Amino acid sequence: MEKKSATRLDIARRAGTSVSVVSRALNNSGYVAKEKKERILKIAEELNYAPNPVAISLQKRRTRQILFYCRNVDNAFNMQLYKGMLDAAADRGYMVLFNGKTAFEDLRNTLVDGIIMQDQGLAAYYLRNYGRNYFLPVVSAAYGEVLGEEKDSERSAESRTFSRTMPSGRHSVPIVEVDTYRVMETALDYLEHCGHKKIAFGTPYPAENGNVRTAAFLSRMHERKVKDARNYILAVSRRDSRLAADSRLLSFQEEVAENPHVVNEDFFGKGRLAARIFAERKMDATAVVGFNDEFSLGLICGFQEMGLRVPEDISVMGIDGNDARKYVSPLLTTVSLFPQEQGAMCVRVLLDLIEGKKVRYVTHTGFRLLEGESVLPCASAAGIL
Amino acid sequence: MEKKSATRLDIARRAGTSVSVVSRALNNSGYVAKEKKERILKIAEELNYAPNPVAISLQKRRTRQILFYCRNVDNAFNMQLYKGMLDAAADRGYMVLFNGKTAFEDLRNTLVDGIIMQDQGLAAYYLRNYGRNYFLPVVSAAYGEVLGEEKDSERSAESRTFSRTMPSGRHSVPIVEVDTYRVMETALDYLEHCGHKKIAFGTPYPAENGNVRTAAFLSRMHERKVKDARNYILAVSRRDSRLAADSRLLSFQEEVAENPHVVNEDFFGKGRLAARIFAERKMDATAVVGFNDEFSLGLICGFQEMGLRVPEDISVMGIDGNDARKYVSPLLTTVSLFPQEQGAMCVRVLLDLIEGKKVRYVTHTGFRLLEGESVLPCASAAGIL
DNA sequence: TTGAAAGCGCTAACAA
DNA sequence: TTGTTAGCGCTTTCAA
């Protein structure tokens, strides 16, 4: 048993034939005498033969593995994305591996045919710094990425298509995303429908940070003729001293941030803190839309810790459709982005790319309001402070 | 750009030298004239050369990748195990991939050097059905596995060692686990210390199911001369009709259970239901130890939904050290198994195995009580029903 | 129906 | 210091 495992050559020798016949027999492809085939199969069995997948991959120049590269292992939303990927990939004979931490430089040594990046920021960074050297197809799921020039130019090119040739844009990657602007609209419409007039947007980033979700909020508020919209942005400063101290868990695990732009965000903790800031600033909103569900769960926790009732005193709404909602009462009302479907779509786009088909540059996936109990319906909308 | 990427041969040709020199230059190993080396590096740069990791793996007969095979993608505990693995593996130059769903038969096609199984049950099943044919080293993290003959015989062989030869036991795999009996003791000691006399054990499995945690509870209760210990087992029947209906989330994702013995357990949902069963059965315990943290969070949720206060009316305690604790108030008191350390240890054992070192058959990792707010301290321990 | 032969892209021993 | 050579284990022509 200690010795190395059998190869097709070993089988061929015992069967008194050649490797190519053995290969055909094992893969049942091509001609091979029935009797001989049986003998080969039997010998393979006896030898506990198992093909070497690495050799097959080298020959076929295809591993049939793809990777979901995702830093936020903690976030259930990403795990839901991953779940969606698994099925979609299996349908086409691929495996999806997951990796949350390998340095970008080492990523190129992964034995995969393509990579799905957690979000656009990561994808752009990767491509800019490492991607040019070898074109391993990459697809990105979008999620709260920062809005910049690149983003602007991208928005105007939604119908651009890709093939396996180098993309035309500078650092562009096909992305699968949800239309954040319409999502935000859905959230705000719902709250207004429930009677809320003053609506805040809670975000874990500084107010000036131009992430799409904040931008979408401002844009929608603008449309609604709210002039002091910026006052309704409830931002958590990255350096708020209470951040570390506020952790609910004794932390025996030091957090390590390796890439400057990729932090393992504690959305929950920031949401929790945001609730305190809301009170300190005496914001007069009757409802808060959180940056994402994790953040919103933190908001609920924070409000409750201050003795406020959700939704009687303050309504909270999220964005994502994160299954972690189940843990918290009241059940969070949210706009679900159906991460599973988004993940599945990422896989389809990536596999199309790998297989040389043309793919759309931007693919939009669906969303839907999921009612919970965290928004006061038809509220008389009295300020609480 | 469309054409296939450059190889060492391409570089060699342009540099007017041979592949081996190129190889040495690129890997900076062995002799190569300084000037020539520079030229080679430059050409490689120009050609956007990137080595083919599959070819390297074939040659080296090592992928430097290992896999964490884990079905319960939903459970934060497993993600914590995974996080621990990442660092430990990086220390030794390995990547850890994660996969949650590939069928066992396809697992052998994975391009990895070894596999860590989520728990002993999975590992045993895998080895029994697929593992014999090719010895891909496997290590298992233990967690609530079912106690059987195998397990008994294993316990008596803790000091057995393994090498890459076929293990001596029938379907045995090195495991990295925490001593469940001592963990249970720690939990019960703490509750008694807090004044609790009647302690229940909540489990998502039928009462007869001999999983280690239930067994440990019974064993410890027996030691404490509690004769009706079985009456304090709060079990959820697999077929309780309320299970499906009780889900807090609109479920657009149908759950698929592929392997009979591997179910994507909804521990939270079962814990929630268990709280109801507790009330229906009018159990007179003043504290409940949940099977694991997820289950215990469900218990808290369930009790609160019935208008009971935790811990004033009923104390709840968990086992695991699952970070999902942060979501729920009151903060769950638990015995942490330090999943990150357990995961790291799994990796070390697996890599030792891969590298041909002898490894212990069973490796125990540490645990510790983590106080939260879900247990009433020094309770007068009045029954609530 | 078979099997020899030429790779896939890289490593490493060895002779030069 | 260099280059030739022989693989790693498998697939796939193509001539027999």
pLDDT in tens, B27-52: 988 899 999 999 999 999 998 899 99
A135:B304 CB<8 A: no
**Rounded to whole angstroms, how far apart are CA atoms A142 and A147?**
12
Phi, psi for B291 (deg, rounded to 5)? -50, -45
pLDDT over 70 at B315, yes or no:
yes
Percent of chain A clearing pLDDT 90 (strictly above) = 63
Torsion-angle region of residue B159: left (phi > 0), alpha (psi -120 to 50) or beta? alpha
**Rounded to whole angstroms, how far apart are CA atoms B160 and B169?**
10
Which residues numbered 313-372 in A keep a CB inside 8 Å of some CB on B?
323-329, 331, 338, 340, 370
Q: Classify residue A76 by its DSSP letter.
A: H
pLDDT over 50 at B99, yes or no:
yes
Name which residue leads in pLDDT, B285 or A248: B285
Identify the sign of the CA torsion B17, B18, B20, B22.
Answer: positive
Closest partner CB to B249 (pick from A56, A65, A325) = A325
Q: Which of B289, B307, B298, B304 is closest to B234 using CA atoms?
A: B289
Strand partners of residue A369: A335
Which residues numbered 69-128 in B keep a CB inside 8 Å of some CB on A?
73-74, 76, 79-80, 82-83, 86-87, 90, 95-102, 106, 108-111
* CB B144 within 8 Å of CB B77: no
* CB B176 within 8 Å of CB B378: no
B108:A331 CB<8 A: no
Q: Classify residue A48 by its DSSP letter.
A: T
* CB A8 within 8 Å of CB A26: yes
* Beta strand extents in A302-348 (DSSP E only): 315-320, 333-336
Is B34 (CB) below 7 Å from strand D? Answer: yes
The string of pLDDT tens digits covering residues B324-346 is 999 999 999 999 999 999 999 99
* CB B47 within 8 Å of CB B11: yes
Report the interhelical angle of B212-223 vs B180-193 (nearest 10°).
50
Give the CA count within 13 Å in the CB-facing half-sphere of B292.
25
Bases on strand C under 7 Å from any protein CB: 1-5, 7-13
**Rounded to whole angstroms, how far apart are CA atoms A375 and B7?**
60
Phi, psi for A16 (deg, rounded to 5)? 60, 40
Distance from CA of A214 to the nearest CA of B (A): 25
Six token digits for residue B217? 């509870």
Which nucleotide's C1' is closest to A56 (Cα)? D10
pLDDT over 50 at B362, yes or no:
yes
Mutate which of A249, A332, A333 to test chain B, going by most B C-beta atoms within 10 A? A249
Phi, psi for A97 (deg, rounded to 5)? -100, 165
Q: B150-167 burial string, b = 16+ CB within 10 Å, else e?
A: bbeebeeeeebebebeeb
pTM over 0.75: yes
Q: How many helices (H) and strands (E) does chain B have?
A: 14, 14
Report the interhelical angle of B293-305 vs B267-280 (nearest 10°).
50
* CB A334 within 8 Å of CB A321: yes
3-state secondary structure of B352: helix
B53:A106 CB<8 A: no
Q: How many CB atoms neighbour CB B322 within 10 A? A: 27
Q: Which of B131, B127, B130, B111 is closest to B66 using CA atoms?
A: B111
Is A282 (CB) below 7 Å from strand D? Answer: no
Mean pLDDT of the B56-69 span: 95
Is A134 (CB) below 7 Å from strand C? Answer: no
- Chain A's closest residue to B323, CA to CA, is A249
Local confidence pLDDT in tens for the 385 residues of chain A: 335 689 999 999 999 999 999 999 999 888 999 999 999 999 999 988 999 999 999 999 999 999 999 988 888 999 999 999 999 999 999 999 999 888 888 888 999 999 999 888 788 788 777 765 445 787 888 754 544 433 333 433 333 444 433 343 444 788 999 999 999 999 999 999 999 999 999 999 888 877 889 999 999 999 999 988 999 999 997 777 676 655 666 543 333 333 333 446 789 999 999 999 999 999 999 999 999 999 999 999 999 999 999 999 999 999 999 999 999 999 999 999 999 999 999 999 999 999 989 899 899 999 999 999 999 987 554 444 3
* CB B145 within 8 Å of CB B120: yes
The string of pLDDT tens digits covering residues A314-370 is 999 999 999 999 999 999 999 999 999 999 999 999 999 999 898 998 999 999 999
Judge whether B55 is closer than 8 Å to chain A, CB to CB: yes
* CB A211 within 8 Å of CB A144: yes
Six token digits for residue B291? 């099977």
Q: Which of B271, B340, B319, B48 is closest to A254 using CA atoms?
A: B340
Distance B9 CA to C9 C1' (A): 9
**Rounded to whole angstroms, how far apart are CA atoms B193 and A74?**
34
Distance B98 CA to C11 C1' (A): 29
**Rounded to whole angstroms, how far apart are CA atoms A324 and B326?**
11
Which nucleotide's C1' is closest to A17 (Cα)? C3
Cα A253 from chain centre: 23
* CB B337 within 8 Å of CB B320: yes
Q: What is the pLDDT of residue A103?
A: 87
Task: Name the band, by pLDDT with cuts 50, 70 and 90, for residue B264.
Answer: low
Q: What is the CA radius of gyration of chain B?
A: 26
B53:A101 CB<8 A: no
DSSP for B308-350? Answer: --TTTT-EEEEEE--GGGGGSSSPPEEEE--HHHHHHHHHHHH
Closest partner CB to B73 (pick from A50, A82, A164) = A82
Judge whether A67 is closer than 8 Å to chain B, CB to CB: yes
Distance A7 CA to D13 C1' (A): 21
Q: What is the pLDDT of residue A281?
A: 95
Distance from CA of A134 to the nearest CA of B (A): 6
Helix residue spans in chain B (DSSP H): 8-15, 19-26, 34-46, 53-60, 76-91, 104-107, 120-129, 149-155, 180-193, 212-223, 242-245, 267-280, 293-305, 339-354
3-state secondary structure of B83: helix
pLDDT over 70 at B72, yes or no:
yes
Q: Classify residue B71 by its DSSP letter.
A: S
**Rounded to whole angstroms, how far apart are CA atoms B75 and A74?**
10
Q: In what order do the strands lie in the sheet with B233-235?
A: B233-235, B199-203, B287-290, B315-320, B333-336, B368-370
**Rounded to whole angstroms, how far apart are CA atoms A252 and B369?**
13
Closest partner CB to B74 (pick from A79, A304, A328) = A79
Strand partners of residue A317: A289, A333
- Chain A's closest residue to B65, CA to CA, is A110
Q: Which of A185, A143, A178, A139 is closest to A337 using CA atoms?
A: A178
* CB A246 within 8 Å of CB A272: yes
- Determine what percent of chain A falls in helix, strand and coil, rounding each to the nearest 5: 40, 15, 45
* CB B337 within 8 Å of CB B319: yes
Contacts of A374 in chain B (CB under 8 A): none
B98:A102 CB<8 A: no
Burial (CB < 10 A; 0-12, 13-18, 19+), residue B31, is exposed
**Rounded to whole angstroms, how far apart are CA atoms A308 and A197?**
20
Cα B304 from chain centre: 29
B106:A95 CB<8 A: yes
Is A60 (CB) below 7 Å from strand C? Answer: no
Judge whether B62 is closer than 8 Å to chain A, CB to CB: no
Pairing outcome for strands A161-162 and B175-177:
unpaired
Q: What is the CA radius of gyration of chain A?
A: 26
Is A8 (CB) below 7 Å from strand D? Answer: yes
Is B28 (CB) below 7 Å from strand C? Answer: no
